[in-house]
Amino acid sequence: YKNPYYAANRSVNVHLFEWKWDDIADECERFLGPRGFGGIQISPPNENVVLWSYNRPWWERYQPMSYKLVTRSGNEAQFANMLRRCNAAGVRIYVDAVINHMTGEPPENVGTAGSTAVFSDWYYPAVPFNRQHFNWPHCVINDIDYSTDAWRVRNCELVGLKDLNQADEHVRNMIVNFMNKLIDLGVAGFRIDAAKHMWPSDLRVIYDRLHNLNTDHGFPANARPYIYQEVIDYGGEAISRDEYTPLGAVTEFKVGLELSNAFRGNNQLRWLSSWGPQWGLLAHGDSLTFIDNHDNERGHGGGGGVLTYKQSRPYKAAIAFLLAHPYGEPQIMSSFDFWDSEVGPPMDNNGNIISPAINSDGTCGNGWICQHRWRQIYAMVAFRNAAGNTGINDWWDNGSNQIAFCRGGNAFIAFNNDYWNLNQNLQTCLPAGRYCDVISGEKVGNSCTGKTVTVGNDGRAQISVGANDYDMMLAIHIGPESRL
Ligand code: LM2
Ligand code: CA
């Protein structure tokens, strides 16, 4: 369950938060496929409660009404079409699976597919679930439980959402049928929402009943779905991330915390020479890494002061490090603009999501941020693909916040987060020649709109990153995007 089964020479997962299936299919063909992205995390595809009383917040999608594939992102036919088109473009789809709970949001009780529920009876006829399928007796998780009481975190309600009992055979069957339907339609895996709130032993039974990935969509025979479990664990909790690594990969929240801290200037970049498990991070093969996610970019899910699109310069640098370094399986966030922590995606008066517009410079409009279309970010996806499975070599630092390293003989990156310029003759490990810095510009024809780096026969080059440059990094590699 720890192999994302990306197509050859691809890496990096992007969370297209609240995107519509038709728009995702277009984005696979016109951008993500050609740019070498590995996969997409999509918003929950199953029916959720419609919350006009909160003006359709993003979080209504974390309140399932049934497992029908009808949401604001589209219906089942559109979902299936997206999977065909994205897989054909070489881009995998990972589903955000909300299986810990059902909606518990009175007074509204109509879902995006028109289903209803009777909350007072724990009755969800469209699944169907009734009272006997939920944890009993009814209780609500208190803040203190996270540090003291694993049982309550798993068997009581998370923010009042009706808590399913995954030990129940019918509940297991409904969840497994839902997930297998998605696998058969061509998905490559799942983010397991609120995994901490479910017993590992129950999750194991569910995972082991999942189908192999669909070979008609280009997956190899006997391939198991990639599973990354959302477990927020900064240490000191009654439930540890280590209880979930035997089952599948786990979201490593410490990555965003530590890299945000470093690129904000609160920790010297030179310490990143030991980045990885020595920092208390999960083992490489267990770790789904990211700077921000849909919760903590807006102060939900424990919040936590991570960098987001709103602090673009250090954010781009933190993502560049995340993607340049071989540690972990990285995911980037692609957001819509928000001004409060509850507001949902751009929508019309009927609640329909408004598609992102694509501007002439390739960025998004209509309220969509599309970090994945920022040059400095998609350039680093190509960098990671060019680096392949090389390790880190030729680490250099100036003893504070100027660092540089190579990925084998394939790629080189330098960062400057000091208040003075970086101007050094450094080992780039690249073949002699001229390279376009894919951060300050891009290759157009055979010239470069940004800095050009000339590598000598000894692999060395003069590297400059000014303290006041637009971005704090410089990146070159052997791929066609950089080689002149
Ligand atoms: C997750 N991971 O474990 C998601 O990443 C996170 O986004 C979800 O919370 C959460 N678990 C449940 O799936 C979000 C949001 C909450 C919101 C819930 C349910 O962060 O604020 O809770 O979705 O929509 C909302 C209200 C809350 C209310 C609750 C139930 O904010 O005040 O509690 O609904 O009605 C009474
Ligand atoms: Ca639970």
Atom of ligand 1 nearest to the CA of 295: 7
In sequence order, what are the residues at sequence separation of 6 or more whose Cβ sits closer than 8 angstroms to the Cβ of residue 471? Answer: 313, 316, 317, 376, 439, 440
Buried b (16+ CB within 10 A) or exposed e, 46-68: bbbbbbeeeebbbbbbbbbbbbb
- Cβ of 230 closer than 6 Å to ligand 1, yes or no, is yes
Bridge partners of 368, per DSSP, are 336
User: Of 451, 242, 345, which is closest to residue 16 (Cα–Cα)?
Assistant: 345
In sequence order, what are the residues at sequence separation of 6 or more whose Cβ sits closer than 8 angstroms to the Cβ of residue 330? Answer: 11, 12, 13, 289, 290, 322, 323, 384
- Cβ of 295 closer than 6 Å to ligand 1, yes or no, is yes
Tell me the two tokens of residue 308. Answer: 């987001």
Ligand 2: distance of its center to the CA of 134 in Å?
A: 9
**pLDDT score of 155:** 98
Q: What is the rounded CA–CA span in Å between residue 326 and residue 331?
A: 13
In sequence order, what are the residues at sequence separation of 6 or more whose Cβ sits closer than 8 angstroms to the Cβ of residue 53? Answer: 107, 108
Please identify which residue in the block is written with the tokens 């880190």.
Answer: 392
In the set 18, 163, 202, 230, the catalytic residue is: 230
Ligand 1: distance of its center to the CA of 103 in Å?
A: 10
Residue type, 366: N
Residue-wise pLDDT for 290-299, tens only, equals 999 999 999 9
CB atoms < 10 A from the CB of 127, how many? 25
DSSP state of 352: P
Ligand 2: distance of its center to the CA of 194 in Å?
A: 8
Whole-number CA gyration radius for the chain = 23
Q: What is the rounded CA–CA span in Å between residue 348 and residue 339?
A: 17
**Dihedral sign of CA atoms 29, 30, 34, 36 in order:** negative
Burial of 180 (0-12, 13-18, 19+ CB in 10 A): middle
In the set 23, 193, 286, 329, the catalytic residue is: 193
Assess whether pLDDT exceeds 80 at residue 44. yes
Tell me the two tokens of residue 42. Answer: 């999509």
Atom of ligand 1 nearest to the CA of 98: 13
Q: What is the rounded CA–CA span in Å between residue 77 and residue 270?
A: 51
- pTM exceeding 0.95: yes
User: Of 79, 76, 68, which is closest to residue 113 (Cα–Cα)?
Assistant: 68
Ligand 1: distance of its center to the CA of 119 in Å?
A: 17
**Considering the chain, what percentage of its residues have pLDDT values greater than 70?**
100
Q: Which of 103, 158, 159, 164 to mutate to test the pocket of ligand 1 (most atoms within 8 A of CB)?
A: 159
Assess whether pLDDT exceeds 90 at residue 303. no
Q: Whose CA is nearest to atom 23 of ligand 1?
A: 59
Assess whether pLDDT exceeds 80 at residue 258. yes
Residue-wise pLDDT for 305-317, tens only, equals 899 999 999 999 9
Residue 304: pLDDT band with limits 50, 70, 90 = confident
**pLDDT score of 305:** 87
Q: Dump strand ranges (E) for 380-445.
A: 392-397, 402-407, 411-416, 422-427, 433-436, 443-444
Atom of ligand 1 nearest to the CA of 194: 3
Residue type, 212: N
Q: What is the rounded CA–CA span in Å between residue 112 and residue 148?
A: 37
Residue-wise pLDDT for 352-395, tens only, equals 999 999 999 999 999 999 999 999 999 999 999 999 999 999 99
Please identify which residue in the block is written with the tokens 């498990």.
Answer: 277
Atom of ligand 1 nearest to the CA of 197: 3
Q: Is 230 a catalytic residue?
A: yes
Residue-wise pLDDT for 72-128, tens only, equals 999 999 999 999 999 999 999 999 999 999 999 888 999 999 999 999 999 999 999
Residue-wise pLDDT for 448-468, tens only, equals 999 999 999 999 999 999 999
Residue-wise pLDDT for 391-414, tens only, equals 999 999 999 999 999 999 999 999
**pLDDT score of 302:** 77
- Nearest ligand to residue 298 Cα: 1
Q: Whose CA is nearest to atom 20 of ligand 1?
A: 300
Question: Which residues, chain by chain, have CB under 5 Å from ion ligand 2?
Answer: 100, 154, 163, 197
Tell me the two tokens of residue 157. Answer: 């309600």
CB atoms < 10 A from the CB of 478, how many? 21
Q: What is the rounded CA–CA span in Å between residue 39 and residue 118?
A: 37
- Cβ of 369 closer than 6 Å to ligand 1, yes or no, is no
Assess whether pLDDT exceeds 90 at residue 217. yes
Residue 110 · residue 56 · CB < 8 Å: no
Tell me the two tokens of residue 65. Answer: 């009404």
- Cβ of 244 closer than 6 Å to ligand 1, yes or no, is no
DSSP state of 270: G
Query: In this structure, are strands 402-407 and 411-416 parallel, antiparallel, or unpaired?
Result: antiparallel
Average pLDDT over residues 27-45: 98
Reduce the DSSP state of residue 264 to 3 states and report it: helix
Q: Per this entry, what is the length of the chain?
A: 484
Residue 310 · residue 252 · CB < 8 Å: no
Burial of 361 (0-12, 13-18, 19+ CB in 10 A): exposed
**pLDDT score of 106:** 82
Tell me the two tokens of residue 66. Answer: 């049934």
Assess whether pLDDT exceeds 80 at residue 190. yes
Query: In this structure, are strands 443-444 and 37-42 parallel, antiparallel, or unpaired?
Result: unpaired
**pLDDT score of 5:** 98
Please identify which residue in the block is written with the tokens 């297991």.
Answer: 172
**Summary mean pLDDT of the chain:** 97
- Cβ of 105 closer than 6 Å to ligand 1, yes or no, is yes
Residue 251 · residue 331 · CB < 8 Å: no
